[in-house]
Amino acid sequence: MNLNDSRILLTGAGSGIGRSLALQLGKKGANLALFGRNVAKLNEIAFEIRAHGGKASAFVFDMTDSSGQDGIVQEVIQSMGGIDILINNAGIAGFCEFSNQNPDDIERLIRTNITGPILLTRAVLPHLVRKNSGRIVNVGSTFGSIGFGHFSVYSATKFAMRGFSESLRRELDHTGVGVTYVAPRATRTALNEDAVVELNRRTGIAMDDADDVAGWIIEAIEAEAKDYYIGWPEKFFARLNGIFPRLVDNALKKNNRIARGLVKHAN
Ligand SMILES: NC(=O)c1ccc[n+]([C@@H]2O[C@H](COP(=O)([O-])OP(=O)(O)OC[C@H]3O[C@@H](n4cnc5c(N)ncnc54)[C@H](OP(=O)(O)O)[C@@H]3O)[C@@H](O)[C@H]2O)c1
């Protein structure tokens, strides 16, 4: 898939992986609708993209909103003349003991990470199906294939994102619209609070740079990949967990013990 002149709606464009994606896609000649809640951050990125000859505009939208998706998608279509790719990247995490997790935080996590992307996809999809081309790109996680203790709700949202991607891809197999599911492993962004960075350090879990992860996501889109798992041994364990979950239970016991110690200080 050639990204030059492609029209891309990117959520979570204001920071981390989304910011890197925006800047790299801008350099590839894409026309970008940058979604997020913080207009100042989005405008700054749009300005940087335009300063390098690219095309980008900011759109303020909260992924937890239960309505408004159709309206903002129409605005984007009018502004860019259409949409070719939707990248569902916005997300939040939650490192805690499940029984202590506040119901409002649980609701926010589910709305941001899965209900929001599903509703936005529902708003964009008829446009792609009508022109019989385009791609939905869903950013999941290693935690969408391996349930990690102390990330129960976050893992649940990413498992849901993987299931949604697979189902939708099969549903659309008679159309020209593709679905790519990308699963990054731990990445150095604001998503990971200090306790998670410490957990990764103590358990030897590698953390990637957001710029590298953005580059791999772009590779996945250009290759029109169906599923794209980032990092070794994470991509191996993601598959192993599907076949021999008891082996992975044992492998994660040490992580769980360290997480139990760290989570008390984090919450
Ligand atoms: N970092 C990792 O270790 C890691 C690993 C695997 C997968 N991922 C996934 O990668 C994606 C990007 O995460 P990141 O690491 O780049 O995190 P990040 O730096 O915290 O960025 C998350 C983005 O999501 C946006 N966002 C959060 N809540 C929102 C809401 N209610 N409405 C609209 N936008 C919202 C934020 O925008 P505003 O706050 O400006 O609105 C922000 O730009 C997420 O889906 C995450 O689950 C991350």
pLDDT digits (tens, 9 = 90+) for 118-138: 999 999 999 999 999 999 999
Q: Answer yes or no: are the C-beta atoms of 121 and 165 closer than 8 Å.
A: no
Residue 138, in any domain of the structure = yes
Active site residue 181: no
Residue 222, in any domain of the structure = yes
Q: Is 129 touching ligand 1 by the criterion CB < 6 Å?
A: no
- With vertex at residue 183, the alpha carbon angle to CA 178 and CA 185, rounded to the nearest 5 degrees, is 165
Q: Is 172 touching ligand 1 by the criterion CB < 6 Å?
A: no
Residue 260, in any domain of the structure = yes
* Residue 182 pLDDT greater than 90, yes or no: yes
Residue 228, in any domain of the structure = yes
CA of 51 to the centre of ligand 1 (A): 25
Residue 2, in any domain of the structure = no
**Mean pLDDT across 193-203:** 97
What is the side-by-side strand order in the sheet with 55-60? 55-60, 31-36, 7-10, 85-88, 134-139, 177-183, 227-229
Q: Is 134 helix (H, G, I), strand (E, B) or coil?
A: strand
Q: Whose CA is nearest to atom 19 of ligand 1?
A: 16
Closest CA to 175 of 116, 142, 133: 133
Number of domains the chain contains:
1
CA of 28 to the centre of ligand 1 (A): 22
**Mean pLDDT across 235-239:** 95
Residue 152, in any domain of the structure = yes
Q: Which domain holds residue 156?
A: 7-266
Residue 188, in any domain of the structure = yes
Residue 226, in any domain of the structure = yes
What is the structure's pLDDT at 265? 62
**Mean pLDDT across 153-171:** 98
Measure the CA–CA gap between 138 and 227, rounded to whole angstroms. Answer: 10
Q: Is 188 touching ligand 1 by the criterion CB < 6 Å?
A: no
**Mean pLDDT across 160-171:** 98
**186 contacts: CB under 8 Å, gap ≥ 6:** 142, 192, 196, 200, 205, 206, 207, 208
pLDDT digits (tens, 9 = 90+) for 76-111: 999 999 999 999 999 999 999 999 999 999 999 999
pLDDT digits (tens, 9 = 90+) for 12-69: 999 999 999 999 999 999 999 999 999 999 999 999 999 999 999 999 999 999 999 9
- pTM over cut 0.95: yes
Mean pLDDT is lowest, of 175-179, 215-219, 247-251, for 247-251
**Mean pLDDT across 232-248:** 95
What is the structure's pLDDT at 75? 98
What is the structure's pLDDT at 135? 98
Measure the CA–CA gap between 257 and 264, rounded to whole angstroms. Answer: 12
Q: Over the chain, what is the mean pLDDT? A: 97
What CATH number is given to the structural domain containing 192? 3.40.50.720
